Each structure stands twice: as structure tokens, then as C-alpha cells.
A and B are shown apart, each in its own frame.
Chain A
Amino acid sequence: MNDIPAVLSTVDPPTRACCDRAPTPGMLHAFEQFNRGEYFEQHETLEWIWRAETDTTIRNFYKGILQVGVGFHHLRKGNYNGVIKVLGRGINYLKPYAPACYGVDVARLIEEASAVYWRVRDKGRLETRDLEMELPQVHLVRESRLKEVRMEYQTLPALRVGEHVRKITFEEYLALEDQGVQTEWVNGEVRVYMPVSVKHQQLVNFLDRVLGMFVELLGLGIVLTDRIVMRALVNVAREPDLIFLSQQNRERLKATHLAGAADFVVEIVSDESVGRDRADKFYEYEEIGVREYLIIDPRQGKQRVDYFGLDDSGKYQPILADQEDKFHSRVIPGFWFRKEWLLQENLPDALDCLAEIRGLNDSEIQILRRLLTGAK
């Protein structure tokens, strides 16, 4: 088979360490979208993951699959130039990752996608729209779908020093905590993250005061921040920015970590965390049954709040604001918030917000403030 003309200038060579890893839930979700022919959607999911990936040796792997899918999207629309450019580029991106990477049978995808590329090229521009062919799917090398991935890590060896990756057990991970940095434990590997911004800390602190006081006053449960470790899947432990655990689930809280799902989780998005927050954690939290997930993106130009609740089938559905622009929680009875509270440059006064949630009017808030401050 002829080589597809290269359009890439430089590609960082991949390291085998990445390629030995199991796919994350976010990736598996993207592959399922790809295989269902949801090519625009797979591009969105992989785009989040690609943008968040800081390891330059692996970024082109996501881009390769993403662009092969976008090439198929263009093919469906009869866009000959789009197929030739983007599908060809995607295939070339994938080549350094063959035969397999992150559990994906890369060699097979390259071969099958190349067949599509050459067929389109041979038929030419005018026939692109009428081409009917079955499009390739993303296959996993070993049948390492999510369930098997989890099984694999059910019983982690006490300490495995691999060629590239040193895997540790959950207990060892917990013992590593308290070193003053944010870490998470994924597939037995410890990931260390960058310190958070001041804006991030202010948002967590604001929510902690408003929601923390709210649930304490009404005896609904507990709010925790400060890098509480939550065991998400068997092989994954996360440190959400803020969690609420209801009174009836209090037994999940152990001395060192939360064993199971929180009832409500907040993640605040940064450039570095966007893929984890929007893809990996979204599906993990859904899977383990975090009943509500609030994603706040305070970055310039983004300014988004996305709020999800589990439906009856255990899938996240967006929770929308009511006519007064209030977002009502279903797991924290009586609690609601406004999007503007979370996105304004200077965060509002926590006491005012708490009083407003509890239905106090302006003069009552004034009285409360006077009582608390001792002012006349």
C-alpha cells in the first residue's frame, strides 16, 4: 500500500510507557462514540482529553484518532478535500503509536482507515458523496474494556516496579498523602498536579462557607475540601475540590479517605484539569453514583457552570436553572445557587448568599449582620 503523503513537520516520538497504560473511562467513552458513528461527539470528547494532556509524546495519539473520526465525518458529508486532508493527517499521526497504544489496536485502525482513504482518492471528488462503505471502528487489543480493566487492578501486587512505571496499592497511595501537593491515583500510578490558582482557592472557600454552613445548620451531612481522597473506581482515587456527603451515607467516610461516592461533587476547571474534569471524572462519577456533579469553569473566555444530576437509569442529565435563575439541588434539600455567584470577578458575601438561600429578606439580613458583628 502506498504511503499517505505526510503533512506533518515534527512529531514527538511516543514513549512506550504511555502505550502500556490501560484506556481511561473518558477514552473508552470516546471510542464508543466513534464506533457508534458519532464522529462529531468523539471529537469533542477526545478534544478535552487532548487539550488537558501535558505529555507531548502522547498528545498526537488522541489527535490521530480524533482526526480519523473527523475524516469520516467529512466523508459522510461528501467533503472530498476534508477527507483527504484530515483523514490522511489522522492516519499519519497514528503511525508512531502502532502496533498498540492505550489498549487500542492502532495498527488495525491505520490499515482500515488507509483503505478508506485510498478508496475515496481513487473514486475522486465527484463520487465522494455517493460512496457507501462500512467505516472502521476503534478496536481494543486485549478485550480490556472498562470491566476487565477494573478486574485487572482488583488485586494490585504489593509493589510492582515496572520498566517504566512503578505501580503502588491504594494503601501505599494513602500513606503518600500529606506531602502538600495534589495527587490522584489512577490505574495504580500516582499523578501529581500543579498547585491551584488563587481564584480556584477563593471559589472553593466561598462554596465551603455557604454550603458548609447550610448543611451544618440543618444537620444534612458534611462538606469537605482540602484534598479529600475519594475512591472512585477500584483502580482510581480522586481528590475532588469539594464534596458533600449526606448524613445517611456517613459510614462511607473513613479515617483517611472516602470509601465510595460522595453525594455531590464540585470540580473547578483549570487549563491543566479540563480533560480530567469534563471527560474522565464525568464518567467515573456517573459510574460510581455521585448523585450530582457541578463543574465550574471560571477561566477567561469560558465562564461556564455545568450542573449534572443522575437520572433513574444512573446517567447524568443537565440540571437547568428555574425561571428565577436558581439551580436547585435535589440531593441537598433546600439548597440552591445562582450561576452569577460563581462567575463574578469578586465573589459575593457568603453570609448574604446563605441568608438569601434560607429566604431571609433584606432587613432580616441587616439584623442578622448587626447581631453577628455587634454593630448598632
Chain B
Amino acid sequence: MAYIIAEPCVDVKDASCVAVCPVDCIHGGPEDNMLYINPDECIDCGACAPECPVSAIFPEDQVPEQWREYIQMNYAYFGKTK
């Protein structure tokens, strides 16, 4: 289980979440159009979710149906499969 960033983040990349993550597990370079949470590093504390101005962050089991594909995308970004 980890937190997952979904579609609202695309082209927004506000990065408020990055500043509050105590384990530095939210990544994304200038070439990416959104940010991603590394499921191996995330400790599931949820500190990031309320900070997101576009409400893009969800616990993995609560990702809204229309954005379920972002679970796989978050894992894939770090070379993992779900």
C-alpha cells in the first residue's frame, strides 16, 4: 500500500506535497508532467494528501474509479509492477 497521485496533478505539479513529505518519497523531474510517489519509500502517513491544492493524492485503495490506471503508472515510474 502507498499513496497514489492521480490525474488532477497532470500539468499542475504544484509540489506542495514534496515540501511536507518527511521521507522525501515524492519524485518527478522537469521532463515529467506530474509527480509520483515511490511505493517502496512511502510510509503511508498521509501528510501529503491534505496539502495538494487539486486533491490529486489518494490512499491506493481509495483511488477513484476513473483514475485507477494511475496506480500502475505510479508503480511503473519506479520500475515496478503492481
- Which residues on A sit within 8 Å (CB–CB) of B38? 85
User: Of A66, A81, A301, A302, which is within 8 A of B23 by CB?
Assistant: A66
Known: A46-B22, A63-B22, A67-B23. A86 touches B41 (CB 8 A): yes
User: Of B20, B23, B50, which is within 8 A of A86 by CB?
Assistant: B23
Chain B residue nearest in CB terms to A66: B22
Q: Are A43 and B41 closer than 8 Å at their CB atoms?
A: no
Where the two chains meet, the residues of B that have a C-beta atom closer than 8 Å to any C-beta of A are: 20, 22-25, 38, 40-41, 43, 45, 47, 50-51
In whole angstroms, what is the CA distance A106 to B61 when docked? 38
Chain B residue nearest in CB terms to A82: B40
Q: Are B43 and A50 closer than 8 Å at their CB atoms?
A: no
Where the two chains meet, the residues of A that have a C-beta atom closer than 8 Å to any C-beta of B are: 40, 43-44, 46-47, 50-51, 63, 66-67, 70, 73-74, 79, 81-82, 85-86, 89, 301-302
B40 CB to nearest chain A CB (Å)? 4
Q: Chain A interface secondary structure, helix, strand, loop or mixed?
A: helix
User: Of B22, B24, B51, which is within 8 A of A43 by CB?
Assistant: B22
What are 25 A-B residue pairs whose CB atoms fall within 8 Å in the complex? A40-B43, A43-B22, A43-B23, A43-B45, A44-B45, A46-B22, A50-B22, A51-B20, A51-B22, A66-B22, A67-B24, A70-B43, A73-B43, A74-B43, A79-B40, A81-B41, A82-B40, A82-B41, A85-B25, A85-B38, A86-B23, A86-B24, A86-B41, A89-B24, A301-B50
Q: Given A301-B51, A302-B50, 6 other A-B contacts at CB below 8 A?
A: A43-B43, A51-B22, A63-B24, A67-B23, A67-B24, A73-B43
- Which residues on B sit within 8 Å (CB–CB) of A67? 22-24
User: Of B24, B47, B50, which is within 8 A of A47 by CB?
Assistant: B47
- Which residues on A sit within 8 Å (CB–CB) of B24? 63, 67, 86, 89
Chain B residue nearest in CB terms to A40: B43
A75 CB to nearest chain B CB (Å)? 12
- Which residues on B sit within 8 Å (CB–CB) of A85? 25, 38, 40-41
In whole angstroms, what is the CA distance A47 to B46 when docked? 12
B76 CB to nearest chain A CB (Å)? 15
Chain B residue nearest in CB terms to A67: B23
Chain B residue nearest in CB terms to A50: B22
Chain B residue nearest in CB terms to A44: B45
Q: Are A81 and B40 closer than 8 Å at their CB atoms?
A: yes
- Which residues on B sit within 8 Å (CB–CB) of A302? 50
- Which residues on A sit within 8 Å (CB–CB) of B41? 74, 81-82, 85-86
In whole angstroms, what is the CA distance A85 to B79 when docked? 14
Q: Are A74 and B40 closer than 8 Å at their CB atoms?
A: yes
Going nearest first, the 3 A-B pairs with the smallest beta carbon separation are A81-B40, A301-B50, A47-B22
- Which residues on B sit within 8 Å (CB–CB) of A89? 24
A3 CB to nearest chain B CB (Å)? 19
A127 CB to nearest chain B CB (Å)? 17
In whole angstroms, what is the CA distance A375 to B50 when docked? 46
In whole angstroms, what is the CA distance A86 to B32 when docked? 23
In whole angstroms, what is the CA distance A67 to B23 when docked? 6
Chain A residue nearest in CB terms to B44: A40
Q: Are B40 and A47 closer than 8 Å at their CB atoms?
A: no
In whole angstroms, what is the CA distance A86 to B24 when docked? 8
- Which residues on B sit within 8 Å (CB–CB) of A63? 22, 24
In whole angstroms, what is the CA distance A40 to B40 when docked? 15
